[in-house]
Structure 1
Amino acid sequence: MSAEFAAPKGVPDYFPPASADFLAVRNALTDAAHRAGYGHIELPIFEDTALFARGVGESTDVVSKEMYTFADRGGRSVTLRPEGTAGVMRAVIQHGLDRGQLPVKVCYAGPFFRYERPQAGRYRQLQQVGVEAIGVDDPALDAEVIAVADEGYRRLGLSGYRLELTSLGDDTCRPRYREALQEFLLGLDLDEATRERARINPLRVLDDKRPEIKEATATAPLMIDYLSDSAGEHFAQVRRHLDRLGVPYELNPRLVRGLDYYTKTTFEFVHDGLGAQSGIGGGGRYDGLMAAIGGKQELSGIGFGIGVDRTVLALAAENVSVAGEGRVQVFGVPLGAAAKDELVALAGRLREHGVSVDLAYGDRGLKGAMKAADRSGARLALVLGENELADGTIEIKDLADGQQTKVALDGIVAEVRARLNLG
Structure 2
Amino acid sequence: MAFEGLASKLQDTIKKLKGKGKLSEKDIKEAMREVKLALLEADVNFKVVKSFINRVTEKCTGTEVLNSLTPAQSVIKIVNDELTALMGGAESKLNYSDSGITVIMMAGLQGAGKTTMCGKLALYLRKKNKKPLLVAGDIYRPAAIKQLEVVAKQIDIPVFSMGDNISPIDIAKAALKHAKDNSYNVVIIDTAGRLHIDEALMEELEGIKAAVNPKEILLVVDSMTGQDAVNVSQSFNDRLDVTGVVLTKLDGDTRGGAALSIREVTGKPIKFVGLGEKMSDIEIFHPDRMASRILGMGDILSLIEKAQSSIDEKEAKELGSRMLNQEFNFDDFLSAMNQMKKLGPITKLLEMVPGVNTKQLEGVDLSQQEKEMKKVEAIIQSMTAKERRSPSLISGSPSRKKRIAAGSGMSIQQVNKLLKDFENMKKMTKQMKSMQKNNKKGLFGKFPF
Q: TM-score with structure 2 length normalisation? A: 0.22
Normalized per residue, the structure richer in helix is: 2
Q: TM-score with structure 1 length normalisation? A: 0.23
